[in-house]
Structures are given as C-alpha cells and as structure tokens.
Amino acid sequence: MRIDIVTIFPEFFSVLDVSLLGKARVDGLLDVHVHDLRSWTTDRHRTVDDTPYGGGAGMVMKPEPWAQALSAVLRDDGSSTLVVPTPAGRPFTQAIARSLAADTDHLVFACGRYEGIDARVFEWAASRCSVVELSLGDYVLNGGEVAAMAMIEAVGRLVPGVVGNPESLVEESHEDGLLEYPSYTKPAVWRDLEVPDVLLSGHHARVAAWRHEQQVERTRRVRPDLLPDDTAR
Ligand SMILES: NC(=O)c1ccno1
C-alpha cells in the first residue's frame, strides 16, 4: 500500500519511521511519502491560507496549493482514495479501517490546518478520486495530522504482513462488534490479585466461553451502543 500525506508540518510524521509501521516501510509493505504543502506555493512567504469569505474568525487554506499538491500525488487512473481527517466527517471505525486496508492500495491524506481547507478543493478532487471525510471522534484538533496518524496506524497494521502474527488481529476490540476480553500474564498472583482460574485450567473450550462472556459483559457495561438491539443490554 502506498500512502501519501500532504501537510504543512511534514516533520510531524517522523514517527512513521519507528515501530511496526517503520519496519513495514523497510520491508516494502507500506510505501509512505510525506509532502510539505508549501512546496506548491509560489510566493515569497509560501502562503497557504487567507481570510474566510463571509467573515468569521481564523483563516482558510487556499485552494490552489492544494490542487497543485493533490495533482502531483493522486494517481491519474482515479484509483486513489483521498482521506480528509475532519471533525465534520463520518466516524472512523475499525470497519472503515478494514475496508480501506482491503479495498485500496493508494491513500492520500490531506491534513488541514486553521479553519480548514477551501471546500472547492474536495469538489474538484471528487472528479479525480474517491474523497472520504473521516472523523476520529466528536472533538476538534488543531489540524488533521494527529487524526491522520491514528488512521494510518489503524489501516497500516491491517495490511498483510505488517503485524507478525495475523491471529493477533482477530481477537481485538471492535473486530467482532464487541470489546476485547481482559488479558493477563505471569505471575498468576500479583499483589494479592489472582488471574481468573479458568485461564489456568488448560480447558480451551471453557477459556473461549469465558472470554466471550467477558467481551459481552464489558461491551454491555462500557459500550451498550455497540450491542444489537435484540441483545439484552
Ligand atoms: N475529530 C477529528 O478527526 C479532527 C480532525 C481535525 N480536527 O479534528
């Protein structure tokens, strides 16, 4: 999978050189390129923003640098997906992460700052690629970079080969519509707190049943909204 990121803070994404995603880049599983939006400005001050039409506080990102930048990174065949992290987007979920990891091989992240990017950029881009506006949650960040980083990690880790043991991707929160069960490791007793006996029983069927019960109980307690209506909440 190729990932292009357009931002005015390219240094923000140096973290993509470490850990699993960093190794995936070295292994050629992820091909990540970070671009400075200001590379596509033409004035001495490398201006990327201006005052909003209609008035209001803050500044809006100018359309032309974005159009130049996206023209340089979007594929000509329309196969790119432009991801716009924004609080005004659809909620980013594990299902969306799975879909992006499985169905796209080129993601372009447009990281806005200030009050956002001139809306015409996305109208223009929609004739050249799929445009998806996605929100990390119902809160506002100072820009799209933190959200893009989270989305890149959530999608990148699902690309085959990035996570060493694919089994570890299966029993995770939201993979089956439930929150994950609690996990334990040695010692069996720690500060007078014991690991549940069933996990020491070696009885795989009982362990599996207990873990599912824990998932349902935790989901009912913490995220009842995730449970189907016909499940007793
Ligand atoms: N909630 C979000 O995804 C977001 C992106 C930029 N600011 O907030």
Average pLDDT by stretches of 10, the chain with 233 residues: 98 90 90 97 98 97 98 98 98 96 97 96 98 98 97 96 80 84 98 98 98 97 90 52
State the pTM of this model.
0.93
> What residue's CA is closest to ligand 1, atom 7?
141
Out of 111, 135, 145, mutate this one to test ligand 1's pocket (max ligand atoms within 8 Å of CB): namely 135
Does residue 140's CB lie within 6 angstroms of at least one atom of ligand 1? yes
pLDDT score of 8: 98
pLDDT score of 181: 97
> What residue's CA is closest to ligand 1, atom 5?
86
Question: How many residues are present in the chain?
Answer: 233
Return the axis-axis angle of helices 145-156 and 94-103, rounded to nearest 10°. 70
pLDDT score of 31: 96
Does residue 86's CB lie within 6 angstroms of at least one atom of ligand 1? yes
> Which of 215, 109, 94 shows the shortest CA–CA distance to 157?
94
Does residue 94's CB lie within 6 angstroms of at least one atom of ligand 1? no
Residues that constitute the known binding site: 112, 136-141
Contact 38, 65 (CB under 8 A): yes
pLDDT score of 233: 42
Tokens of 8: 């005015």
pLDDT score of 172: 77
